[in-house]
Structure 1
Amino acid sequence: MRTAVVCALLCAATLPGPSAAASAPQAPPAVSVTVAVTDGRDDAESGKRLDYRITVHNMGPTEVRGARIEQDMPATTTSATAPGGTVEGHDVGEQKVVWRADLPAHDIQVFTASAVLGARTGPTATAAPGTLRAAATVCVYVGDSYTPTACSGDLDDLPETHAEAGGGDGWMWWAGAAAAAALFGPGVVRAVRRRRAAQPH
């Protein structure tokens, strides 16, 4: 009898109790989310409004609660709007839109935003000959993570204006020509007069 009791106590000690099983860390469910963004065009210009359509697809079998969808607007954006979202930052080049939403399993949700572009204020590296780009980026974040689960971008060509540069170059050419005439004009006139005086009459 004593042996049976000791064996029972030893066996019970080796088995995990209910509290140990409950406190074991649970692996987070796998998240499979995609995002796509487009404004339906390939080019833009200052003063025009770009209307973006953001499509978020939860392809996994588990609902994603409290997802954060963030869109960085193009660098020359002067104003932005987003139904159901919050516009953060009001200075040019700092505007961002944030949505928070639950993403049901196997569900697709669509968000919309608009941006009005302003003029470029300084030189920027060109991404293609004769053009610049208006770039918008959208990322989806799950929980409190700072690492995006999915990202997508949209690029529009901004035609580069050469009117100001051409006008400036023309003005500089005329200024140079006037300066050259002021410097060398009197000498040319004197040379012509001497040549005429030296010719026999």
Structure 2
Amino acid sequence: MRTAAVCALLYAATLPAPPAAVPVPPAVSVSVSVTDGVDRAEAGRRLDYRITVHNLGAHDVHRARIEQEMPATTLSATAAGGTVGGHGTSRQKAVWHADLPAHDIQVFTAGAVLGAPRDPDTTAAPGTLRAASTVCVYAGPSAAPTACSGNLDDLPTARPGPERRDTWVWRGAAALVSALFVSGAVRAVRRGRARRSG
């Protein structure tokens, strides 16, 4: 009996150890909200955004990335404590990197100035009815966001602009032609009457 037990122990000692358990990263639970405090915007106005990120989980989130896509008509943008990338309208993006302690709330601020309209007869970029901004939080190197939120502001509809000069030229030419035609018609009528009476 002792011999069998010793053999079993020796055999067990020669077996490879079971693989170590792979550590599972803690689940990330984050919420984000964004607001600029207004409901309507227009060209030339500065919008001040307040972004609130809340780590709802019991574990710290290290090197989180917070990205804000600015409205399509943005001419210039700022991000306190972050960076702004992109040039020209529809390409402005603000980015922050931050550690999010467990149960902590952090606030980020950004600003955007809406660009002047391309066409003087409109107050927004063609096809744009709202100034939309989206904010997403990325935890770690993942390409998928952990949380996203957005903000929409109404833009004024197109307004009729001043009439162009060529419109006035055509109107003046039409009035001149009409005046000459009427004048010629009046002369013809007078000549006809004079012939009849003579």
Settle same-fold status: TM greater than 0.5.
Answer: yes
Structure whose residues are more often helix by fraction: 1
Please give the TM-score of this superposition, normalised by the length of structure 1.
Answer: 0.81
> Which residue of the other structure, out of 38, 43, 47, is the alignment partner of 2:40?
43
Helix, strand or coil: the match of 1:47? coil
| 1:132-165 Cα deviation digits (max 9, x unpaired) | 322111110010111111111111122245242x
Quick check: 1:154 aligned with 2:154?
Answer: no
Unpaired runs of 5+ residues, structure 2, are 120-124
Q: Which amino acid aligns with 2:65?
A: R
Q: 2:127 maps to what in 1?
A: 125
Q: 1:3 maps to what in 2?
A: 4
* Aligned residues between the structures: 189
Q: 2:113 maps to what in 1?
A: 116
Unpaired runs of 5+ residues, structure 1, are 127-131
Q: 1:167 maps to what in 2?
A: 163
Q: Which amino acid aligns with 1:191?
A: A
Query: For residues 73 and 79 of structure 1, what CA distance do their matches in structure 2 show?
Result: 9
Identity %: 58
Please list, as runs of the form range in 1=range in 2, the aligned pairs for 1:18-57 lying within 5 A after superposition: 20-21=19-20, 24-57=21-54
Query: For residues 117 and 139 of structure 2, what CA distance do their matches in structure 1 show?
Result: 34
Query: For residues 101 and 38 of structure 1, what CA distance do their matches in structure 2 show?
Result: 20
Cα displacement (A) at 1:183:
4.2
Over 6 Å off, 4+ runs: none
- With over 3 angstroms needed to count, the CA separation of the structure-2 counterparts of 1:11 and 1:77, relative to structure 1, is same
Q: Which amino acid aligns with 1:186?
A: L
Q: 2:122 maps to what in 1?
A: none
Q: Which amino acid aligns with 2:85?
A: E
Cα displacement (A) at 1:63:
1.0
Please give the TM-score of this superposition, normalised by the length of structure 2.
Answer: 0.82
Quick check: 1:179 aligned with 2:181?
Answer: no
Quick check: 1:196 aligned with 2:190?
Answer: yes
Q: Which amino acid aligns with 2:35?
A: T
Helix, strand or coil: the match of 1:159? coil
Cα displacement (A) at 1:55:
0.4
Q: Which amino acid aligns with 2:148?
A: C
Query: For residues 191 and 80 of structure 1, what CA distance do their matches in structure 2 show?
Result: 66
- With over 3 angstroms needed to count, the CA separation of the structure-2 counterparts of 1:174 and 1:63, relative to structure 1, is same
Query: For residues 153 and 80 of structure 1, what CA distance do their matches in structure 2 show?
Result: 17
